[in-house]
Amino acid sequence: MKIAISSDHGGFELKEFVVRLLNDLGHEPLDLGCHSIEPVDYPDYASQVARRVLQGEAERGILICGTGLGMSIAANRFHGIRATLVNDLYLARMSREHTDSNILVLGGRVTAKGLAEEIVRVWLKTEFAGNRHSRRLEKIAAIEEDIPGNC
């Protein structure tokens, strides 16, 4: 799977680890930076990944900042992005099954590498369950389109 990935300085170290993991798992990471621990602004990097996913250049994305909070807020500004901040395995599964997460967000200062690896593995392999969950995601899309009478 082609996966766009980026981080700010707070997520740089974990991002490097996840890029290696994706390669080892046979995926195709598109590493959009950052490339050092020099301070940068996470919205710049969230935008890069969100745009690649929306344009179909990558099937899914992964974003990592210090906490995962800023990246989540920024990425979810893009209509069609369902960015989910995940810090345990239950959320990794549910973010895919129920909310069809197309961007996984991790906190580089929150989640250790061993757990992050398991989260990434579960998030990559879990399918969206559809059915009633599709209806709910359609309602989120309606909010994005600002369709009156919806929600």
Q: Which residues are catalytic?
A: 65, 98
Q: Closest Cα partner for 18 from 91, 125, 126, 105?
A: 105
Binding residue (CB under 6 A) for ligand RB5 from 5, 58, 67, 111: 67
Is the CB of 14 or the CB of 124 nearer to ligand RB5? 14
10 binds ligand RB5 (CB under 6 A): yes
Q: Count residues near ligand RB5 (CB under 6 A).
A: 8
Q: In angstroms, what CA-CA distances link 103 with 23, 125, 149?
A: 18, 14, 28
* Closest residue to ligand RB5, based on beta-carbon distance: 70
In whole angstroms, what is the distance from residue 99 CA to residue 14 CA? 24
Q: Which is nearer to ligand RB5, 21 or 73 (CB)?
A: 73
Q: Does 6 bind ligand RB5 (CB under 6 A)?
A: no
> What is the rounded distance in angstroms from the CA atom of residue 10 to the CA atom of residue 66?
4
Amino acid at 127: E
The answer to whether the beta carbons of residues 137 and 99 sit under 8 Å apart is: yes
Please, which residues bridge with residue 80 across strands?
Answer: none
Which amino acid makes up residue 144? E
Which range, of 24-32, 63-71, 83-91, 132-140, touches ligand RB5 by CB under 6 A? 63-71
Does the protein bind ligand RB5 through residue 124 (CB under 6 A)?
no
Q: Applying CB under 6 A, does 69 fall inside the site for ligand RB5? A: yes
Span interacting with ligand RB5, options 17-25, 60-68, 80-88, 139-147, rule CB under 6 A: 60-68
Q: What is the separation, in whole angstroms, between the first and last Cα of the chain?
A: 34
Binding site residues, ligand RB5, CB under 6 A: 8, 10, 42, 65-67, 69-70
